[in-house]
Amino acid sequence: MTQAAKTLAAEPTPAEFLQHLGQSGEGPHDVANAALMLAALDRPDKKLAAFRAHMAELVEAVRDEAHFARNADAAAKSLATVIAGRYGYEGERENYDDPQNADMMGVIERRRGLPVALGILYIHAARGCGMEACGLLSPGHFILRIGLRGSEALIDPFNSGALVEREPMAAPGYGGIPFAERPDSTDMPDALSPVTDCDVLLRLQNNTKTRALKKRETARAIEILKRMTLIAPKRNILWLELAHLQESLGALSSARNAYEMCLKLSRSGEDISNEAAFALHALKRRLN
């Protein structure tokens, strides 16, 4: 076997990669590669090498541009100059709900995408150059925090990487762009709170799931939820939602397993635990 063949054989499948990522915790993760793996589940004919090469090219270009950056504002401007300016990435406004906008392969091919999809590319490029980068809760819109040498800057990847003022950012519904609620429903009212890389990937997938549900494509929503449970296997709310959808399609055995997983991950007495227990009891009566 050639070395190239050995390397190919050793590379995990997209599902294996995502499962390993989920088992490793909340992050930090290689979020851009993970987003590519999510896209690969729908586009198995596409080769990953070209997309990875492009992401590496972004890193090198930002490194050159940010060489003399001494604070986060300058670093953020370097990111925008390269990603939005040189490579033409920007938010998709005309067809915001197009599924390609949450597909990392489609985003790279078209240089258009949702805020979180574009944000993942900014995170990848920033971290690859030694900057700190994370997503923020910002329920109305996806904003990034960039850190360098003890300074911080907020940027909006959807709007060409523009710098964002902190106080307007804290206002509800910043940006006026629709966004599906976070899948874990955690009570974190501060829009400037950082989120984990796991949250970022879930947010990417939640966009796809929400659009599938709006179109009443329940089977597609179930598939996306399964991917979300790979990424975050300990999020009980994901298992509960998966169980409800599976039961609605008549996949009762799968629904029972998902309800049981939700209960296993929940504390006794929690609302979610009570809901899962009640639903599981009713389901078992249907199965008997």
Q: Which residue reads 């070209």 in tokens?
A: 50
Mean pLDDT of 165-187: 48
- Check whether 179 has a pLDDT greater than 50: no
Hey, what amino acid is at 111? Answer: R
- Where do the domains of the chain lie? 12-216, 235-288
Name which residue leads in pLDDT, 72 or 174. 72
Dist CA 137 CA 143 (whole Å): 8
Task: Please report which confidence band the pLDDT of residue 286 belongs to, taking 50, 70 and 90 as the band edges.
Answer: confident
Q: Indicate the SS3 state at residue 68.
A: coil
* Structure token pair of residue 187: 């009570």
Average pLDDT, the chain: 90
Return the minimum-mean-pLDDT range out of 23-37, 175-189, 196-210: 175-189
Q: Is pLDDT above 80 for 15?
A: yes
CB under 8 Å to 265, separation ≥6 — which residues? 234, 235, 236, 239
Tokens of 209: 């799931």
- Using DSSP, state whether 18 is helix, strand or coil: helix
What percentage of residues in the chain have a pLDDT greater than 70? Answer: 89
Residues 6+ apart with CB under 8 A from 270: none
| Total-model pTM | 0.88
Per-residue pLDDT at 188: 43
Name the nearest CA neighbour of 245 among 254, 233, 232: 254
152 pairs with which residues across the strands?
A: 147
Of the two residues 205 and 2, the one the predictor is more confident about is 205
Note the residue count of the chain: 288
Whether the link from the prior residue into 28 is cis, omega within 30° of 0, is yes
Q: Tell me, what's the pLDDT at 281?
A: 94
Among candidate residues 67, 85, 57, 203, the one with its CA nearest the CA of residue 144: 203
Over residues 196-218, the mean pLDDT reads: 96
Q: What is the mean predicted confidence (pLDDT) over 263-268?
A: 93
d(Cα 34, Cα 85) in Å, to the nearest integer? 25
Closest-CA residue to 64 (of 55, 73, 75): 75
Query: Which residues on neighbouring strands pair with residue 132, listed in sequence order?
Result: 147
**Cα Rg, the chain, nearest whole Å:** 20
Q: How far is CA 116 from the centre of its chain?
A: 7
With b for 16 or more beta-carbon neighbours within 10 A and e for fewer, the 111-148 pattern comes to: ebbbbbbbbbbbbbbbbbbebbbbbbbbbbbbbbbbbb
pLDDT band at 167 (very low <50, low <70, confident <90, very high): low
262 vs 271: CA distance, rounded Å: 12
Q: How far apart are CA 111 and CA 105, in angstroms?
A: 10
DSSP conformation letters of 107-167: HHHHTEE-HHHHHHHHHHHHHHTT-EEEEB--TTS--EEEEETTEEEEEEGGGTTEEE-HH
Mean pLDDT score, 70-93: 97
